[in-house]
Amino acid sequence: MPNPSRLSVLVALAAVSLWCYLNFVTILKATAGRITIDSTRLRRWENLPDVANGQCVVDTVANACEDVNIHAASSTAFLACGDPAGRVQWFPSARFQPSTNRAVFREQFFKYDLKTQTRTELQLHGLPSPDHDIVTHGLDIRAIPGDNSKILVFAVNHARNGDAILIFEHTLGTDALHLVREVRHPAIKCANSVAAVGPRSFYITNDHYYPRGILRQLEDRFGPWSWATSVQYCSAEEGQEVVCEEVSDTMPCANGLAVSGNLVFAGDSKNGSVSIYEMENGVPNQLRRINVVDVGAIADNIKILAGTGDPLVTVFPDGEELPLFLSNVSALGQTVFAPTAVLRLRKERNFEPELILRDNGSLLTDMTAADIDPKTRMLVGASFLKYGGFAVCQLPDNIDMS
């Protein structure tokens, strides 16, 4: 017969284990910063009629474009694109098990001239080695003061040996990107977006806390976590060590990022908000949060509407079913649809979201970024897992771009 006192200890342990199991999420909330997001907050643009999507053309050569930035002075869109089949194997925001059966991942950048409607693949020069992985994600461009012939292109790269920000120089009118700096730092770990601040300085968001491994699996399985992500400011001046520091509060899933003057906009793709920060005295590593705007949907990339300084936020009105999209990349926009919307947050209306464009997913599906060229009144929308990776839409005359 079992010893009665040992039996009661076992019964007590079993009861405690059962209680912990049943109350696991509550325990994580109380002790580990797990949060609950009210999903009804993320349905504000669901079940609405389409808007301003009547004249869109999908490009069928570039695929899987996650981000786009329009250079307004030349009416040229710059796009970070890639390979849907590769992303199903390796794209750390979504698939993070390093895939070893590939010699190299080599995704592409494109430019699209909105005046002549021509797309050109950009050739990469100066990569550290011929088998250097290029897996694109966030993208930003920056003017070079005093030189109107060139721009800098900042790009997130997910090489299998670690994330980096690539800084390229591009002479306008050419098809070349020359790598001038590959910036690595432990704080650039699950990079999502990049926003240039100076020639060698930028903000980034990470979209997870743990890049890979068992901790990452636990992070994904039991989150969202209030502490998981934030905005980092990094400077990589020539001849100096790379310095990165956290400059925002933490949020569950920092994603889109854009800078306009002294303002920094950071979107969250889990809780559907855009946090607005101001650089105190114009100092980029001293950010003060001045507003948090509920945008009513999962918020992805943020671009700045040229001439206004207002952010354009691309959102998923019906949510983003990433596992479904990853298992059906060939069907995206064919039989699997992810509706999309572009919102403008007008500063003069205290950043209240205003719907600029909505599509039910038949033209612009799984769209992660959209930028607008006010001069040609064209919108370029990027779809990050899809074959046919971007679409160009002529916007109707009733859309006010001032």
Ligand X SMILES: *[C@@H]1O[C@H](CO)[C@@H](O)[C@H](O)[C@H]1NC(C)=O
Q: In sequence order, what DSSP letters do the residues of 159-227 get, joined into one string?
A: ETTEEEEEEEEEETTSSEEEEEEEE--TT-SSEEEEEEEETTEEEEEES-SS-SHHHHHHHHHH--BTT
Considering only 109, 337, 384, 387, the residue that binds ligand X (CB under 6 A) is 337
Angle of helix 4-22 relative to helix 24-32, nearest 10 degrees, comes to: 70
- The least CB distance from residue 362 to ligand X, in Å, is 4
- Shorter beta-carbon distance to ligand X: residue 56 or 122: 56
- Residue with Cβ nearer ligand X (293 or 336): 336
Which residues neighbour 180 within 8 Å (Cβ) at sequence distance 6 or greater?
A: 126, 152, 167, 168, 169
Query: Which lies closer to ligand X via its Cβ, residue 67 or residue 366?
Result: 366
Contacts of 183 (CB under 8 A, 6+ apart): 164, 165, 166, 167, 200, 234, 236, 242
Report the site for ligand X in 357-396 (rule: CB under 6 A): 360-362
In angstroms, what is the minimal distance from the CB of 52 to ligand X? 13
Rounded to the nearest 10 degrees, how much is the dihedral formed by the CA atoms of 143, 259, 271, 187? 80
Q: CB 302 → ligand X: shortest distance, Å?
A: 26
Q: Which stretch binds ligand X (CB under 6 A): 143-151, 173-181, 286-294, 356-364?
A: 356-364
Place of tokens 């009210």: 38
Minimal distance, residue 168 CB to ligand X, in Å: 37
Q: Tokens 């039910």 correspond to what residue?
A: 360
Give me the least distance between CB of 334 and ligand X, in Å please: 10
Helices (H) and strands (E) in the chain, counts: 5, 24
Count residues near ligand X (CB under 6 A). Answer: 4
Residue closer to ligand X (CB basis): 86 or 339: 339
Least spacing, CB of residue 55 vs ligand X, in Å: 13
Shorter beta-carbon distance to ligand X: residue 55 or 99: 55
Residue 197 gets the label, from left (phi > 0), alpha (psi -120 to 50) or beta, of alpha
Tokens 């999420």 belong to residue: 25
Q: How far is the CB of 365 from ligand X (least distance, A)?
A: 9
- Tokens 């943020």 locate to 302
Mark residues 290-329: x for contact with ligand X by CB under 6 A, - for none.
----------------------------------------
DSSP class of residue 134?
B
Min dist. Cβ of residue 361 to ligand X (A): 5
Residue with tokens 């009513």: 296
User: Which residue, 250 or 362, has its beta carbon nearer to ligand X?
Assistant: 362
Subset of 3-62 contacting ligand X (CB under 6 A) = none
Taking CB under 6 A as the criterion, which residues in 246-285 touch ligand X? none
Does 91 contact ligand X by CB under 6 A? Answer: no
Quick one: 328 or 360, whose CB is closer to ligand X?
360
Tokens of 69: 């930035």
Nearer to ligand X, 114 or 341 (CB): 341
| Contacting positions for ligand X (CB under 6 A) | 337, 360-362
